[in-house]
Amino acid sequence: MTTDVLVVQPIDATGVAALRDAGLTVHVAADTRLDTLRPHLATARAAIVRNEGLSGEAIALAPCLRVIVAHGTGTDRVDRAAAAARGIAVRNTPGANARSVAEHALALILACAKRIPDGDRAVRTGDFALRDRVRATELSGLTLGLVGFGRIARLVAGYGHALGMRVCAVSAAAPDAEMTAAGVEPLPDPDALCVRSDVVSLHTVPRPGGPLFDAERLARMRRGAVLVNTARGALVDEAALAAALRSGHLSAAAVDVFAIEPPATDGPLFAAPNLILSPHLGGSTAAALTRTARAAADAVIEALRG
């Protein structure tokens, strides 16, 4: 049996069922090695990808491919140049996991401010006196800076307001009037946001020229500020972030995304103090995975019927 749709990494069963109900043959790959994918790429008319993306080499092995759908927002791990050269559409599922990612960003902000991981470790090791040595942070009255103002950032802005925070943002896409209407102060650039913000949360995509938050920009953040990244690992220079935490310039940070996933455990982040790590969990709630899988399936069905 030939494969119509190759699912490179597992998705929720509702998405697979929708594809099959549409009369398509679906293969969910056992792993992402090229040799594993090769026989199914040979006939696949569509591919659904997650954080592994799809390389130019893989695309070259798929002569029938018409559409690549990213399960989520990011298409940066798909070789878009190779796809464009072949006229292969590259689509994503924007918004399907927005609420779950926004909630995860909020959880990480609170965990940093309230020293929750430190408190958990202290109680488990009998160090109840930690509460006399460290001070948590009250977020009400502080400023939350959002880099980007898409679906996720708008939800995070609402959470910030609910906590009594002032909210500002910088965006290359959202009009200032739109931010102002949401009670968010528009700022001209990331540097202005760094100077203004006690907590910086990233919600944009990488651009050419290296990390948006390199050592120089991290140094512009307020001393004692918090950085949270639930967007893309490439936005932050991981070694520079570790150095900013070691020096105490940043009081805490939380990272859900990494430049290379999974990250090497001997990388710079793993020895950094006051850093919370999570394994790209933001969009992995049951509700978000169901919505995203169904949205990916609908995108494939639409493309193949078109």
Q: Which residues are catalytic?
A: 232, 261, 280
| 239 neighbors 262 (Cβ within 8 angstroms) | no
Q: Scan for tokens 């400023």, then name that residue.
A: 143
Q: Residue 271, Cα to own-chain centre: how many angstroms?
A: 22
Distance CA 40, CA 183 (A): 50
Q: How many CB atoms lie within 10 A of CB 85?
A: 12
CB atoms within 10 A of CB 217: 18
3-state class percentages of the chain: helix first, strand second, coil last, to nearest 5: 40, 15, 40
Q: Is the peptide bond before 262 cis (omega within 30 degrees of 0)?
A: yes
In a 3-state reduction of DSSP, which class is residue 90? strand
Please name which of 49, 73, 60, 145 lies closest in space to residue 105, comparing C-alpha atoms.
Answer: 145
Q: Are 166 and 145 in contact (CB under 8 A)?
A: no
Using CA atoms, how far apart are residues 84 and 168, in angstroms rounded to an integer?
37
Query: What's the order of all strands across the beta sheet hosting 5-7?
Result: 26-28, 5-7, 46-49, 67-70, 89-91
User: CA 177 to CA 191: how far, in whole Å?
Assistant: 21
Q: Which long-range contacts (C-beta less than 8 Å, at least 24 apart) are formed by 207-210?
A: 210/237
